[in-house]
């Protein structure tokens, strides 16, 4: 009986631990679905960026680098973007967010949101540069700017349900003092 309980406890723990990556993949699918008028994909908010940032800040152990890489490759494959571009952008975002994790710990959502906005501007610019180099020409800047602002604006709408998931199904990781 004890072994059976341990087995089910490990299954439950594994499912809970896979939740951040699963959510990121689901939101990647949502933002790459061909909905709306043609060309909308160029300005769709980058929901995977929100996922990678949020889970890196609050539960970085549940968003491994390899998962972030796979999310980026899946995004590129589904959206038709240069293969690997999103992976590089998401890994850059994850690295920057991980370095600022201590700063974000215990801050209000407004402070974290502002941090997300700053990092989004940086990595979105980097993504635009990668795409421009891939196409060997400067791509129009306005779609990238609009996409960045939409992504920034949606952060609290996505982060609040993630906070409920973190509080109810997962536990926040403690942050070591400086």
Helix 47-59 / helix 109-135 crossing angle, nearest 10 deg: 130
Q: Which ranges of the chain have pLDDT less than 50?
A: none
Percent of the chain with pLDDT over 90: 72
In this structure, are residues 63 and 21 in contact, taking their beta carbons and an 8 Å threshold? yes
- Give residue for tokens 């421009």: 132
In this structure, are residues 41 and 34 in contact, taking their beta carbons and an 8 Å threshold? yes
Angstrom distance (rounded) from CA 67 to CA 21: 7
Q: Write out the H or E segment, with its range, that includes residue 119.
A: helix 109-135
Note the pLDDT of residue 22: 96
Dihedral over alpha carbons 16, 18, 20, 24 (to 10 degrees): -140
């Amino acid at each position: 009986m004890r072994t059976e309980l341990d087995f089910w406890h490990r299954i439950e723990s594994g499912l809970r631990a896979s939740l951040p990556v699963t959510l990121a993949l689901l939101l990647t699918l949502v933002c790459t679905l061909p909905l709306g008028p043609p060309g909308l994909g160029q300005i769709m908010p980058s929901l995977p960026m929100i996922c990678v940032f949020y889970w890196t800040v609050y539960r970085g152990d549940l968003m491994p680098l390899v998962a972030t890489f796979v999310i980026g490759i899946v995004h590129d494959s589904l959206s038709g973007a240069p293969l690997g571009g999103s992976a590089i952008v998401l890994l850059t975002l994850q690295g920057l967010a991980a370095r600022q994790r201590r700063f974000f710990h215990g801050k209000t959502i407004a402070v974290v949101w502002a941090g997300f906005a700053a990092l989004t501007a940086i990595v979105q610019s980097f993504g635009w540069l990668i795409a421009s180099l891939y196409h060997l020409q400067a791509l129009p800047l306005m779609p990238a700017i609009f996409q960045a602002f939409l992504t920034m604006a949606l952060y609290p709408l996505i982060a609040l349900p993630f906070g409920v998931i973190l509080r109810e199904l997962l536990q926040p990781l403690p942050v070591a003092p400086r």
